[in-house]
Amino acid sequence: MASLTIRKLDETVKTYLRLRSAGNGRSVEEEVRVILGELIQGRPELAGATSSPPSVDSPAQALRPVSTSGERNVTLIIGGGIAAYKALDLIRRLKERHIGVRCVLTKAAQQFVTPLSASALSNERVYTDLFDAESEFDAGHIRLARECDLIVVAPATADLMAKMAHGHADDLASAILLAANRPILLAPAMNPLMWNNAATRRNVLQLRRDGVHMIGPNAGEMAEAGEAGVGRMSEAIEIAAAAVDILRPPRPRPLADKRVLITAGPTHEAIDPVRYIANRSSGKQGFAIAAAAQAAGADVTLVSGPVELRDPAGVTVIRVESARDMLHRVEAALPADIAIFAAAVADWRVANEGEQKLKKTSAGMPQLALVENPDILATISKLTDKRPPLVIGFAAETEHLIDNAKAKIARKGCDWIVANDVSPATGVMGGDRNTVHLLTRDGDDIKVDSWPVMTKEQVATELVATIAKTLGKTS
């Protein structure tokens, strides 16, 4: 049987259908069925040739699912505020993102926008009454609350938020919100004085504690002449983006409940108050690993030497200068389940650090005696009580990469080594790409897995995935 795509009808027909269906409180598709049904009833010769068309007035039809194509669906509750007009744009923005929209308008919302506009834009019947015999035949308010993937309230008025916070259900919108078992996203919009009122502040706090998502309000000009402040509803495009974010399937969090300790960057070893010994490490690889571990659900502490990088979101970052500071902060951050030492720690520091700036003198050049710095990787690998179950070191080599890295695993007592060639020609130090070899202990042997050239973010993601896979096997 051929199917009819309403989208492909010509504009005049579509406009007529939209207006007629909205006026009758039906979806466009239902309206087409009614028109065809009426046509056939007027042609007795056809009436017997087919079973009667499904009755669109039957209550069971009134709340059919918005979409049968597996797309995501939103129940959009439009509250009674000036910003209600932006909710019409939001319908369009959600539909552009292949999200089906079913609208509910509060009584007050209908003073600002018409059900007809919402219906024409959503291509769906609009709901306004709790005591609607048609949709309440089968507990329509419960179905509106549950037969969707997300409930968006835009604008979320002070009144609607107060009702939600106190569990009221005396109209369709509040009853849906109380009956919901889906995530709820509020886009508050109101006068700054209403937003800052102690009652609204309490309600907002309560709703956040209840797990309700919120976007905005933004700061800016109010509809009321001469008023400005925080209270403008977020733009439709921002609300649509937040909805898409919530609808996105949750990312796997294979390192949830794991504490990960990471070091990154160089260390600076003072010669005098103004000079220091350093190396070319940018910290990019360690920071990328911290971000990847955090994205995998881990509780991450990053101890970093001096670098020009922003703190990765959700990571506890501790900034240090010297190798000794770094060791101290690493020890203080234990215990951890996994420790990854990506910092390029200076092997030596100046023994006779000047208290004042060293001056040129006729006596000749200052003699800089060097002493060995603490070996952070070896120190932590050899701990007896607080040793993390998985200790990973980095080997930055300029020659005999694999042999040196194998020797390093044995010498330091760590479990894995990520070896990379940092010869100037590779551009690894300070660059955005890395070519690494992962060395892991395999009984008495050491297994070498050579990865192709990747960005430092890709190396980080791959390393975190390998860690998660290994822990998954052993736990």
Ligand X SMILES: Cc1cc2nc3c(=O)[nH]c(=O)nc-3n(C[C@H](O)[C@H](O)[C@H](O)COP(=O)(O)O)c2cc1C
Beta carbon nearer to ligand X, 164 or 342: 164
Q: Is 334 annotated as a binding residue?
A: no
Q: Is 394 annotated as a binding residue?
A: yes
Q: Tokens 């007050």 correspond to what residue?
A: 108
Upstream peptide bond of 155 is cis (omega within 30 degrees of 0): yes
Total of residues contacting ligand X (CB under 6 A):
16
Do 234 and 217 meet the contact criterion of CB atoms below 8 Å apart? yes
Beta carbon nearer to ligand X, 109 or 214: 109
Q: Is 374 annotated as a binding residue?
A: yes
Residue window 279-318: x/- pattern of binding to ligand X, with contact defined by CB under 6 A:
----------------------------------------
Which DSSP helix (H) or strand (E) runs through 153? strand 150-156
Pairing of strands 416-421, 370-372: unpaired
Tell which positions 400-439 bind ligand X, by CB under 6 A. Answer: none
Known active-site residue 279: yes
Q: Measured between alpha carbons, how far is 226 from 221 in angstroms, rounded to an integer?
A: 8
| In the complex, minimum distance from the CB of residue 149 to ligand X, in angstroms, rounded to a whole number | 23
| In the complex, minimum distance from the CB of residue 245 to ligand X, in angstroms, rounded to a whole number | 24
Pairing of strands 276-277, 228-232: unpaired
Q: Measured between alpha carbons, how far is 28 from 19 in angstroms, rounded to an integer?
A: 9
Within its chain, how far is the Cα of 372 from the centroid? 44
413: which 2 tokens? Answer: 């007592």
- DSSP H helices, 42-97, are 44-47, 59-62, 84-96
Beta carbon nearer to ligand X, 79 or 286: 79
- Of 104-112, 267-275, 401-409, 447-455, the window that binds ligand X (rule: CB under 6 A) is 104-112
- Of 102-110, 118-126, 239-247, 273-281, the window that binds ligand X (rule: CB under 6 A) is 102-110
Q: Computed over its alpha carbons, how large is the radius of gyration of the chain?
A: 32
Q: Measured between alpha carbons, how far is 66 from 75 in angstroms, rounded to an integer?
A: 10
Q: Is 65 annotated as a binding residue?
A: no
9, 35, 108, 317: which one binds ligand X (CB under 6 A): 108
Beta carbon nearer to ligand X, 66 or 153: 153
80, 140, 266, 305: which one binds ligand X (CB under 6 A): 80
Q: Dmax over Cα atoms in the chain, in whole Å? A: 119
Q: Measured between alpha carbons, how far is 155 from 464 in angstroms, rounded to an integer?
A: 41
Q: Is 159 annotated as a binding residue?
A: no
Q: Binding of ligand X at residue 157 (CB under 6 A)?
A: yes
| In the complex, minimum distance from the CB of residue 231 to ligand X, in angstroms, rounded to a whole number | 8
Q: Is 131 annotated as a binding residue?
A: no
29, 149, 159, 321: which one binds ligand X (CB under 6 A): 159
**Which residues would be at the binding site for ligand X (CB under 6 A)?**
79-83, 106, 108-109, 155, 157-160, 189-190, 194
Which residues are known catalytic residues?
279
